[in-house]
Amino acid sequence: MAKEEAALHRLDGALAWEGFKELLPISLFVIVFGAAFGLAATQAGLNEASIIAMSALVFAGASQFAALELWGPQVPFFTLMATVFAINARHLLMGATLYPWLSHHSPAKRYGVMFVASDANWAMAMQAFGRGRPGLGLVLGGGIALWSFWVLGTWLGLHFGNAVQDPASLGLDMVMGCFLLAMVVGGEKNLRMLLIWTMAAGASLLAWRYLPENSHVVVGALAGGLAGLAWGRRSHEH
């Protein structure tokens, strides 16, 4: 049993390369959205260096588009921070669900993996763990694939963005949603995951009903993240 658990925590170059190849097909669609962002950022008045730096360092499409909506001569800094945090709060839940395996690695490796974590590679990793396979290579290698094509798409959008101004009109906005739905249906099913998602969903619904608009994203992610962290620590203590 100990050997099986150790195998699930594995993270090496071979696993990262396999993860890169597995996420390569879905990464090709990311180019289109990266191009749309590059074009939108140019129209918002950002220079090329700032646009590429944003995609390389932030690596979060939805929050990057939201940031453009707030961009102007005077950027509302705290509003911008709150907006980006709210949109990306789901990463707290991702980190919590990956904690049992990431906790066996150094902080540098943990945060290196989480830097490139996104919906697609996280979902595939959780599905791999549910099948008894190591999944951190999917997060890291797959994340590098997604990140690379996002940055490449952003660069293409700066120079050829007029060719794809509205990805949704081509139906491409449904690709990632369908992909994630397929991952969730075939993903890990156990008491820990049930607790995390129940806590996240319950807290999110209560926040949607009683708290300010859009706060349910943050509240749900925090509740699920804390539940996953508490469960992970308790499991390691026993």
Both tokens assigned to 138: 């999917």
What pLDDT score was predicted for residue 2?
A: 45
- Residue partners of 184: CB distance under 8 A and separation at least 6: 123
Q: Name the DSSP class of 165.
A: S
Both tokens assigned to 15: 């696993």
Q: What is the mean pLDDT of each run of 10 residues along the chain (238 residues)?
A: 62 93 88 84 88 92 81 76 79 85 91 91 87 91 94 89 56 47 52 76 83 70 73 52
Contact 166, 198 (CB under 8 A): no
**Amino acid identity at 164:** V
Query: Residue with structure tokens 């700032």?
Result: 50
Q: Name the DSSP class of 231.
A: H
Burial of 47-71, coded b for 16+ CB within 10 Å and e otherwise, reads: eeeebbebbeeebbbebbbbbbeeb
Q: Name the DSSP class of 144.
A: H
Instruction: Please state the φ and ψ torsions of residue 216, each to the nearest 5 degrees.
Output: -65, -25
Contact 166, 37 (CB under 8 A): no
- Determine the Cα–Cα distance for residues 33 and 167; give it in Å rounded to an integer: 7
What pLDDT score was predicted for residue 48?
A: 92
Contact 155, 38 (CB under 8 A): yes
What pLDDT score was predicted for residue 111?
A: 92
What pLDDT score was predicted for residue 163?
A: 58
pLDDT tens string 134-189: 999 999 999 999 999 999 999 998 887 665 555 555 554 444 454 444 445 445 55
Query: Residue with structure tokens 């026993």?
Result: 238
- Determine the Cα–Cα distance for residues 173 and 176; give it in Å rounded to an integer: 7
- Determine the Cα–Cα distance for residues 153 and 147; give it in Å rounded to an integer: 10
